């Protein structure tokens, strides 16, 4: 299973997501809310991430999307 390093800041609501290859994206609280709404639907989750950073969302595997959905519940 591919692993993402996902860190949520409880004070600001900012979420940092880092792939094993070192690429990283930081999401503002509103963007995290969009991901929560898309959770459970890999294509919608990928589309939300693509609006923020298309390069980061490219190549995300289904297990990584599932891991992200589980973490941001």
Can you give the residue range of the structural domain that contains 19? Answer: 5-71
- pTM for this predicted structure: 0.88
Report pLDDT for 13: 93
- Quote the number of domains for the chain: 1
Q: What are the residue ranges of helices labelled H in 1-73?
A: 29-38, 42-52, 54-57, 62-71
Report pLDDT digits (tens) over 31-64: 999 999 998 898 999 999 999 999 999 989 999 9
The residue among 47, 16, 17, 23 whose CA lies nearest residue 34 is 47
**Least confident piece of the model among 7-16, 25-34, 58-67:** 58-67
């Amino acid at each position: 299973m591919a692993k993402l390093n996902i860190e949520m800041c409880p004070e600001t609501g900012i979420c940092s997501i880092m792939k094993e290859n070192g690429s990283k994206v930081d999401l503002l609280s509103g963007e995290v809310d969009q991901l929560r709404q898309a959770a459970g639907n890999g294509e919608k989750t990928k589309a939300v991430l693509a609006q923020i950073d298309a390069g980061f969302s490219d190549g995300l595997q289904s297990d990584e999307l599932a891991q992200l959905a589980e973490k941001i519940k």
